Amino acid sequence: MNITCILIDDEKLARDLLKEFLEDYPEIEIIQECSKGTEAIEAIDEHQPDLIFLDVQMPGMDGFEVLKNIDHRPYVIFSTAYDQYAIQAFEENAIDYLLKPLDRERFSKAIERVKKQLQNQPNNVDKLVQLLTAQDGSKFSSHLFVQKSDKYLNLPITDILHLEASGDYTIISTNDDQFLSSSGIGKLEDKLDPTIFIRVHRSTIINIRHLKEIEKHFNGGLIVKMDNGKSFNVSRTYAKEIRKKVV
């Protein structure tokens, strides 16, 4: 089993100690080190590691803020000199929480937890879904795999009526159901054909095949009304795309 990981800590000595401990685990490959939260966000979404070691307290942006701003969701082992963050860490679904100074035996237990989790998901669901949704000759997806309870459902793109940002998540609506995606709305937009799905607001994307009518607001703005009865205000930034459809 090969496990990719990124070390995120503003202290070089802390990163060096992690590297020393990880020498006992040749199956774990360190693909990058980061000393800042902003650097970590970019690295995580670019390299999509299986695991990150994440310091809680860093200047500028702490570890929890890093998790709120990433699209890719790796396994997380927090490390910090303070134990008051433990509850918040596990609320973020962390695999483990290590107190500094790190203890080799405690570190070993954390690694075993990660390996056990990965062994329970041998097919790597995220990579499988990515392969299944890839289309020959097109960069746009024809299907998305959306989570419902403990299953991933195959959702045809044509069934989607609209997408709405909800914090770090996205609500995907069909005529019959709603699904909560952990991907940000911007990342999902990249998967959608822009001739069918258009953004009407920073937080809203609609399927124009399910657009019933466009209403002019008294202040000159526009409101789109979907065939499921839902209405959305069109922000000025995106209004020109709507007006292009008017003949």
Which three-class secondary structure state does DSSP give residue 85?
A: helix
Percent of the chain with pLDDT over 90: 44
The whole model's pTM is what?
0.50
- Domains along the chain with CATH numbers: 3-122 (3.40.50.2300), 126-243 (2.40.50.1020)
Terminal alpha carbon distance of the chain: 58
- Gap between the Cα atoms of 122 and 25, Å rounded: 19
In this predicted model, which residue has the larger pLDDT, 116 or 86?
116
pLDDT given for residue 42 in this prediction: 94
The amino acid occupying position 199 is R
Q: What is the pLDDT of residues 77-113, one digit of tens each?
A: 988 876 666 556 555 667 888 888 889 999 999 999 8
Count of other CB atoms within 10 angstroms of residue 221: 13
Kindly list the distances between the CA atom of residue 47 and the CA atoms of 35, 57, 114, in Å, as whole numbers in the listed order: 16, 23, 18
Percent of the chain with pLDDT over 70: 85
